[in-house]
């Protein structure tokens, strides 16, 4: 058994001073059980914990580390920035450089505003959409996560076009009242909601590749149809690319799927591993933001110079050394190896869903294993039952994946072919032991 004595001691101390002993819920191992791993340091593809164990990391800080941990170019840029000062609270050139880089390369982003998190980015984009349309309601999708702002912490009601019910305690009913929820993979439901709430919906917000309730690739043409429905009804289309932006492709899901949003939110990669968020889009929409326009949004630490420098280094490297084709090929080969093995446990077949450099380890009905889950309703019941065993088996064999049955994994350029082969072997070994 892996020795986690030091992690256990730290976790006990943390429970006394932090809710659940962590600062983001999934870190608690709530969904998989056991002692959370306390990391001491990381390099390349590897995490090193406080007990001296090491793991090949496929969580990659939930996505931003596309070049691996402590990439030399990104670390150098961050160190140079912090030597000049960690925060100014003034206008500075680093944010201008990153803004010019993004707007110069992404045709649908005329202007951009940096914030501190993906949640803030979504809040800003929704406020702009409401101001631009003069409407209050927002349509989101069950299974898509857009941060922890009150209006986005909702799930679908029992009725097709019913108002949302808050997922979290402490969210006033009034805050959720203007959020409508549609099922994924159901365009008639979206049409019906617009028909019921004509001239009231400011925007549709969607992850172009839903990646917070499993990895749920949508049918070809789905995003284009959402754009058409929104625009026919005088609403905007917002892509939440906090995860997918600059990871699926340099232009994120919008580039990969060929659909242009009116507004887009970013995070993760644009900070090179430092806290960051951004929202951007058409110039006329972004000009509504203060001090240019009447939509107020502010942040003392927005466009932090260290995050801006790390982000510039990351995006510049993505442009000069595009990793997308190689990462997609490597991950697809891994998925093919695992999926073709046809390993079945208690009637559920172990599968790897892979899109670009993102993947999800899942369990499907063995009699219909080739089916694709496109909504939370399509996820097999065995996912929650079998995933904890898989997680701890991989942890024991030196692999760290996201400690949740519904969170995705990420590949980086720091991962080697031998590490991917070892992961496949370890997954196969779990299947053998579990049957």
Query: How far out from the chain centre does Cα 48 lie?
Result: 24
Strands (E), 31-121: 39-43, 46-49, 54-57, 111-115
Catalytic residue (one of 240, 266, 279, 400): 240
DSSP line for 292-350: TSSB----TTTT-HHHHHHHHHHHHHHHHS--HHHHHHHHHHHHHHHHHHT-EETTEEE
Comparing CA positions, the residue from 81, 86, 82, 114 lying closest to residue 98 is 114
Residue 228 bears catalytic tag: no
Beta strand 179-182 with 137-141 is: parallel
Q: How many CB atoms lie within 10 A of CB 378?
A: 15
What is the spatial distance between Cα 255 and Cα 258, in angstroms, rounded to a whole number? 5
Query: Residue 66 and residue 43: Cα distance in Å, rounded?
Result: 13
Under 8 Å between Cβ of 38 and 50: yes
Token pair recorded at residue 55: 């793991």
Q: Of residues 268, 279, 317, 324, which has the active-site annotation?
A: 268
DSSP state of 235: -
Return the residue matching tokens 């097999």: 380
**Residue listed under structure tokens 């549609």:** 182
Q: How far apart are the C-alpha atoms of 374 and 221, rounded to whole Å?
A: 14
Residue whose structure tokens are 């997918």: 244
Report the alpha-carbon distance of residue 420 to residue 207 in Å, rounded. Answer: 27
CA-based radius of gyration for the chain:
22
Rounded to 5 degrees, what are φ and ψ at 105? -105, -20
Active site residue 49: no
Active-site annotation holder among 11, 145, 324, 400: 145
Termini Cα distance of the chain: 21
Do residues 58 and 409 make contact, with C-beta atoms less than 8 angstroms apart?
A: yes
Nearest-10 Cα torsion for 17, 20, 21, 27: -150
- Decide if 111 is catalytic: no
Q: Indicate which residues carry an active-site annotation.
A: 145, 240, 268
């Amino acid at each position: 058994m892996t020795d986690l004595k030091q992690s256990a001691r730290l976790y006990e101390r943390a429970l006394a001073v932090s809710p659940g002993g962590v600062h983001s819920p999934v870190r608690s191992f709530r969904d998989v059980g056991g002692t959370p791993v306390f990391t001491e340091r990381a390099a390349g593809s590897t995490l090193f914990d406080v007990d001296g164990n090491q793991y090949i990391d496929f969580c990659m800080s939930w996505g931003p580390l596309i070049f691996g941990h402590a990439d030399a170019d990104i670390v150098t840029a961050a160190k140079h920035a912090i030597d000049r000062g960690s925060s100014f609270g003034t206008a500075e050139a680093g944010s201008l450089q990153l803004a010019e880089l993004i707007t110069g390369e992404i045709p649908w982003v005329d202007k951009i505003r940096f914030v501190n998190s993906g949640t803030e980015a979504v809040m800003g984009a929704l406020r702009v959409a409401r101001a631009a349309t003069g409407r209050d309601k927002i349509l989101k999708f069950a299974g898509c996560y857009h941060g922890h702002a009150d209006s986005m912490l909702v799930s679908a009601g029992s009725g097709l076009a019913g108002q949302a019910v808050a997922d979290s305690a402490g969210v006033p009913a009034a805050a959720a009242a203007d959020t409508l929820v549609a099922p994924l993979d159901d365009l008639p439901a979206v049409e019906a909601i617009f028909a019921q709430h004509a001239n009231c919906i400011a925007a549709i917000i969607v992850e172009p590749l839903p990646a917070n309730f499993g990895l749920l690739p949508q049918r070809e043409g789905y995003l284009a149809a959402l754009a058409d429905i929104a625009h026919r009804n005088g609403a905007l289309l917002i892509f939440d690319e906090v995860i997918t932006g600059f990871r699926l492709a340099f232009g994120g899901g919008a580039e990969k799927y060929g659909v242009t949003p009116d507004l887009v939110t970013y995070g993760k990669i644009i900070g090179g591993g430092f806290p960051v968020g951004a929202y951007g889009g058409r110039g006329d929409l972004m000009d509504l933001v203060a001090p240019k326009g009447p939509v107020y949004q502010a942040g003392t630490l927005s466009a932090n110079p260290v995050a801006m420098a790390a982000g510039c280094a990351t995006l510049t490297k993505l442009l000069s050394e595009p990793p997308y084709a190689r990462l997609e090929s490597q991950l697809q080969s891994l998925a093919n190896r695992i999926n073709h093995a046809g390993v079945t446990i208690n009637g559920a077949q172990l599968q790897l869903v892979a899109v670009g450099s993102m993947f999800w380890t899942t369990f499907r009905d063995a009699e219909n294993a080739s089916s694709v889950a496109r909504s939370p309703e399509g996820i097999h019941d065995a996912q929650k039952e079998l995933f904890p065993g898989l997680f701890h088996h991989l942890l024991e064999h030196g692999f760290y994946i996201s400690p949740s049955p519904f969170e995705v994994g990420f590949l980086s350029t720091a991962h080697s072919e031998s590490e991917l082969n070892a992961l496949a072997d370890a997954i196969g070994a779990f299947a053998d032991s579990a049957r």
